[in-house]
A and B are shown apart, each in its own frame.
Chain A
């Protein structure tokens, strides 16, 4: 391949890589444990692993609230939407933590071979 061709292909690839990096940075969401989250004041678009505390789920109209624990600390979660998980199972919640409450926009439950995504994806989040 001649040099001019290499330059053209190189520039195209680099442009794409920058674009991927940009998309990545604007959409990345780190994993945290419940204890780590509680130490923070606010955090946005994070994923938290934990277990749903038994008998903590309350459903009010369209809103579900429950408590999530990592064995050390307990965090309150609000989820706009209804789910039908069983309590006492490990889940991952995705959302924002502010003023002492976790606002989830996704609740992911784990299963044996497959898992199901239960979520309310806000279109213009």
Chain B
């Protein structure tokens, strides 16, 4: 047995023991058992840490007798990418996930040590044990093969800084999302309030998941060469689904704090469960490595194991909720949601829109299982109305009062006039209905937000984080409508010295040249870009062949000339055998910078809110 496997076996047994210790410790009120449970956490954390370091050392020492190292690296790989090759495949990613879960369990230990924490740790320990079993069976990173002189090399598409960062960020968020779920279960089992304590882990996990998705979109845009930042394929969709449900969860939690409707309590509970199930689903899809990945659920023991966890946890959540409900008086003075002109109604409508978007994406993602597929057109036709409705709803919601609001005319007359003016002028300029309505509502909502900030009170400082997030989402919507609806795409075959024009631009193919470095050969085309006859830049898109023995070793690079309101995006598609002709794909992507700016604001707003809440907590602790 390999040393790594021994470490994983010890980790598995300490995880299993910790479950027993925490469960029995609470039941028997035994401080000794609880202390042993804590010790078990330290042990599995250390074992997983050592196992990870060991795997890393196999990568660094280029030990190609390990299957995982053989598949994901080679001896020419630079130090940074050799480290990132750790999480380039399924086995390493699962190990990293397990290590993150163990690390976060140590964090939970620093919380209040009560039965709630103990149950939470038992549940997170159970899931950790599940991953640990996979690591020892179907996804063993320490599996050996007869020693090879050279590895297959890292997939060239993953040799970017974005793909160094993306997997750890996403898996850290996935580990984080396990905790609110475990807390919801232990809350229901112990009949205790769980939302407040779960929120502390939910918010940073949501920020990280968003950040991970954004890095992925940025990578796709700059690497894949098809001109977009979001392709709506199962891998991308599956990471968006838990992000959508956790976004929903924030809003139902926010509502529930205001109006203690019993129904909202249930929605909170099931949303947190659903979010976690989607995380499990996403991990399976992302790391199964098959194109229409949902097919793979039926194939092989691992797919069945993941499916089992999803179904079992889903059923268990219903059972726990039903069992606990009888004696679980959530709040004696329960209020009811009233659907009328008020803030809560606008939030409920918002929730319905997001829920529908969620369903649409889920259906689209699952369809390949049933032999159908839908293209980007399907998602875009859903997204456009969703974006328009939300752009308007944001601005309405911020100004409405709780319970009842009758001052509609005073509040919305001026913003409505602004909407009309902006929409009509944009329409006059660009003759595109969608973008005119979208920018009109954007101006409408932005004005309402500014008024909201202006009339807001200082004690609501932490609201500014949420404002920032919403304004970021609005920018993201405007940007995506621009990219999806206003962009131009053209393909050309170009001979030497030939020019083609796209929009205001003229592209001239000057020369073809080659270069070689330690890890790859590149052929690059030099293309001059003129705007209205004036030279604005020279781009050199490349076709690279990496010196690796894996099949997919040829990639083309993307060159982007970025301007405030659009990008000129060029990728090299092909080179003729006699080196006299090239095939290029040119995109003019409008408003794409709004997408990036929006993503930055969403992340920044999230971080601001988190720091603000932590600051208030610290203040409260000091006062106590």
Contact = CB atoms under 8 A, between A and B. Distances in A.
Interface residues of B, number: 68
A14 to B, nearest CB: 10
A13 B356 CA distance: 8
Interface stretch (B178-186, B374-382, B424-432): B374-382
Contacts of B157: 111, 114, 116
Contact of A112 (B155, B345, B356, B556): B155
A27 B364 CA distance: 10
B226 interface: yes
Contacts of A38: none
A80 interface: yes
Interface in B352-406: 352-353, 355-356, 359-360, 363-364, 367-368, 371-378, 381-382, 385
A1 B342 CA distance: 14
A55 interface: no
A75 interface: no
Interface string A31-57: 100000000000001010000000000
A71 interface: no
A104 interface: no
B372 A59 contact: no
Contact of A116 (B224, B345, B349): B224
Contacts of B493: 61-62, 82
B492 interface: yes
A82 B261 contact: no
Contacts of B382: 19-20, 23
A62 B495 CA distance: 12
A118 B377 CA distance: 17
B373 A108 contact: no
A23 B155 contact: no
A28 B521 CA distance: 41
Contacts of A109: 552
A37 B565 CA distance: 44
Interface string A100-116: 00000000111111111
A28 B373 contact: yes
Counting chain A CB atoms within 10 Å of each CB, which of B224, B543, B576 scores highest? B224
Interface in B127-176: 155, 157-158
Contacts of B452: none
Given A5-B338, A112-B550, A114-B155, A82 B377 contact: no
A84 interface: yes
A86 B551 contact: yes
A116 B367 CA distance: 20
B291 interface: yes
A112 B71 contact: yes
A53 to B, nearest CB: 17
The dominant DSSP class at the B interface is mixed
A48 to B, nearest CB: 11
Interface residue tally on A, bucketed by range: 35 or more
A27 B375 contact: yes
Interface in A83-97: 83-84, 86, 89, 92, 94
A81 B585 contact: yes
Contacts of B291: 92, 108, 110, 115
Given A62-B493, A112-B155, A120-B585, A9 B339 contact: yes
B363 A20 contact: yes
A119 B226 contact: yes
B45 to A, nearest CB: 27
A83 B376 CA distance: 20
A30 B371 contact: yes
Nearest to A4: B339
Nearest to B367: A28
B589 interface: no
A27 B224 contact: no
B233 interface: yes
B339 A5 contact: yes
Contacts of B375: 27, 29, 45, 94
Interface in B327-362: 336-340, 345, 348-349, 352-353, 355-356, 359-360
Nearest to A120: B491
Interface string B470-508: 000000000000000000110111000000000000000
A115 to B, nearest CB: 6
Given A8-B339, A81-B491, A31 B371 contact: yes
B226 A17 contact: no
A4 B336 CA distance: 13
Contacts of B488: 123
A113 B352 contact: no
A87 to B, nearest CB: 11
A29 B373 contact: yes
Contacts of A115: 291
Nearest to B158: A114
B339 A80 contact: no
Counting chain A CB atoms within 10 Å of each CB, which of B339, B353, B581 scores highest? B339
Nearest to B389: A16
Nearest to B233: A117
Contact of B356 (A8, A20, A125): A20
A12 B345 CA distance: 12
A82 B582 CA distance: 9
B158 A83 contact: no
A84 B368 contact: no
Contact of B374 (A27, A61, A120): A27
Contacts of A62: 491-493, 583
A9 B155 contact: no
B529 interface: no
A30 B289 contact: no
B10 interface: no
A47 B373 contact: yes
A2 to B, nearest CB: 7
Nearest to B571: A118
A84 B555 CA distance: 8
B88 interface: yes
Contact of B583 (A81, A86, A110): A81
A59 B574 contact: yes
5 contacts: A9-B352, A23-B382, A27-B378, A62-B491, A123-B489
Given A5-B345, A116-B224, 19 more contacts: A13-B356, A16-B353, A23-B381, A24-B360, A28-B372, A31-B373, A62-B492, A62-B583, A81-B491, A81-B585, A84-B543, A84-B554, A111-B155, A111-B289, A112-B71, A112-B289, A113-B72, A113-B158, A125-B377
Interface of A: 1-2, 4-6, 8-9, 12-13, 16-17, 19-20, 23-24, 26-31, 45, 47, 59, 61-62, 80-84, 86, 89, 92, 94, 108-121, 123, 125
6 A-B pairs closest in CB distance = A5-B339, A82-B583, A82-B574, A27-B378, A16-B356, A82-B573
